[in-house]
Amino acid sequence: MDAKAIKKALGESGLRCTPQRYAVMAFLMAHNSHPTAAEIFEAVNQMDPRSSRATTYNNLRDLVQAGLVREVAAEGRAARFDAKGMRHHHFICDRCGSVEDVEWYDVPRPALRALGKRVLRECELIFRGLCAKCAPRYASR
């Protein structure tokens, strides 16, 4: 996503395109490594030392609420963030906490009666287990 597309996405979502918000979004679009909020702050702060930790964290919250960024919660570890591009699921390693993209496939939605008065926004699968790096080490024990 180029600069124009990022600005357009922010505008369409109802968010102002501030320099700090743009920097967070641009970093996430350029890095598909699922960084933590702290890693995003460090990178953005190196480019613009005026950017504060609170501003970075608030921008991440706003981007998640606007649906432009996905927060991937890893139990007992810092949440990781992923700019929504192509639809995909996630795999989280139980041992090292790495987060990897898994090809998207449609998940059957529950029957409306099962949801009651809830409104379903999104359905995502998170696979958990051992990544390719950790699996051989675990098996050799």
Q: Does residue 79 contact residue 72 with C-beta atoms inside 8 Å?
A: yes
Q: Kind and range of the H or E element at 5? A: helix 3-12
Q: Domain ends where: 84, 107, 123?
A: 84
91 and 78 within one domain = no
- Determine whether 21 is exposed, middle or buried from the number of CB atoms within 10 Å of its CB (0-12, 13-18, 19+): buried
21 and 35 within one domain = yes
Amino acid 141: pLDDT: 59
**DSSP codes joined into one string, 67-102:** TSEEEE--TTS--EEEE--S-EEEEEETTT--EEEE
Q: Which among 100, 71, 99 is positioned nearest to 83, based on CA atoms?
A: 71
Which structural domain range is residue 36 located in?
1-84
Amino acid 119: pLDDT: 75
Q: Domain ends where: 39, 63, 84?
A: 84
Instruction: Report the relative pairing of strands 88-93 and 69-72 from DSSP bridges.
Output: unpaired
Amino acid 24: pLDDT: 95
Q: What is the crossing angle of helices 53-65 and 37-47, to 10°?
A: 120
94 and 80 within one domain = no
Q: Does residue 10 contact residue 16 with C-beta atoms inside 8 Å?
A: yes
Q: Does residue 57 contact residue 41 with C-beta atoms inside 8 Å?
A: yes
**Separation of CA 93 from chain center:** 16
User: Average pLDDT of each block of 10 consecutive residues along the chain (141 residues)?
Assistant: 87 93 93 92 91 94 93 85 83 90 81 72 84 83 59
99 and 57 within one domain = no
Looking from the CA of 100 toward its CB, the CA atoms found within 13 Å total 14
Amino acid 130: pLDDT: 95
Amino acid 19: pLDDT: 92
Amino acid 137: pLDDT: 78
